[in-house]
Amino acid sequence: MPDQKRKALGRGLDAILQSPETDITTKDISGNYVAGAVAEIDIDLIETNPFQPRSDFDEEALSELARSIKEQGVIQPVTVRKCGFNKYQLISGERRLRASKLAGMKTIPVFIRIANDEQMLELALIENIHRENLNAIEVAISYQRLIDECSLTQEQLSDKVGKSRSAIANFLRLLKLPAEVQIAIRDGHISMGHARALINIESKEQQLKILQQIIDDELNVRQTEALAEDAKKPSNKERRQTNFIPEHFKKQIKTLSQTLNTKVKVKRNLQGEGSVVIDFKDEKEFDRIMELFNR
């Protein structure tokens, strides 16, 4: 009975892998067509992954990898999905694929998987997050795409990528920064630590001003955090504006102060809301002032 079950499963797999629409044209070392085995596939039969989250590839690093591949071959197979007769689509490993083409390789070792588009996107994003040196913005975009396009919660995403929810939240917050700051992170002009300090500043103008200062003066993260803290404090001008007293108020305050024979202060914000503070030195003076109000 167990042998019959294994045989039935084997025929089912053959039916999928050797059908005219999805026939695998290469074999593993055992001579069988097996999904998940390592196979050598013509490099020209593999199309790139439209879901690839990485947009920039370091040309010098690619050249170094190409030289290594030319001498040693591809150590880690790329992962592809079968999507038609003699047709494969890259799931992960675009850097290795590009370097192999650069090295003039005709074939490349691959893992063959069967995945729908959503699974493919998820696999590509997660594999790249873990295995490629993505910059912080690319990681943040990958996290956001997993949430949006694969309908994941932050908690589910945390489980899938093995990162804490707070770490994921910190990456996602980067996408709220102005485009100029995101580009600076992407291009390596500032670190994620610098960016996290800038996030806490509400004013875009202040964010961009400090960004320029970070780049010009080569500030470290601690210096940037100190600047960000100072930026959050209201300036003397802002403090004066928040207690702006119109001229006709001043006249009324002076009159009230003379009438009560004590100091009167008024606080007022830019929206016009405020309070009147009347000084008194003891209970006797308080009673005197109250009598004046009650007349």
Which residues are known to be catalytic?
Answer: 94
Question: Is 7 domain-assigned?
Answer: no
Same structural domain for residues 215 and 278? no
Report whether 280 contacts 289 (CB < 8 A): yes
* Domain co-membership, 137 together with 61: no
Please count the structural domains in the chain.
3
Tens digits of per-residue pLDDT, 254-274? 888 888 888 888 887 766 778
Shared domain for 127 and 232, answered yes or no, is: yes
Is 92 a domain residue? yes
Taking CA atoms, 244 is separated from 187, 269, 271, in Å, by: 44, 7, 10
Q: Tell me which residue range forms the domain holding 48.
A: 14-115
d(CA 196, CA 1): 61
Residues 143 and 198 in one domain: yes
How much is the pLDDT for 145? 78
Domain co-membership, 218 together with 281: no
Quote the pLDDT of residue 211.
92
**Cα pseudo-dihedral 53, 143, 130, 165, rounded to 10:** 170
**Spatial distance between the Cα atoms of 184 and 27, rounded to a whole number of angstroms:** 47
**Residues 269, 222 within the same domain:** no
Residue 5 lies in a domain: no
Residue 9 belongs to some domain of the structure: no
pLDDT for the residue numbered 293 = 81
Q: Above 60 in pLDDT, residue 143?
A: yes
The yes-or-no verdict on residue 21 having pLDDT over 60 is no
Mean pLDDT, range 37-62, rounded to an integer: 78
* % of the chain surpassing 70 pLDDT: 77
Is 131 in the same domain as 210?
yes
Within a domain: 3 = no
Identify whether residues 107 and 128 lie together within a single domain. no
Q: Do 139 and 226 share a domain, yes or no?
A: yes
Average pLDDT, the chain: 77
Task: Provide the pLDDT for residue 83.
Answer: 76
93 and 57, same domain (yes or no): yes
On the 0-12 / 13-18 / 19+ scale of CB atoms within 10 A, 1 is exposed
What is the end-to-end Cα distance of the chain in Å, rounded?
Answer: 107
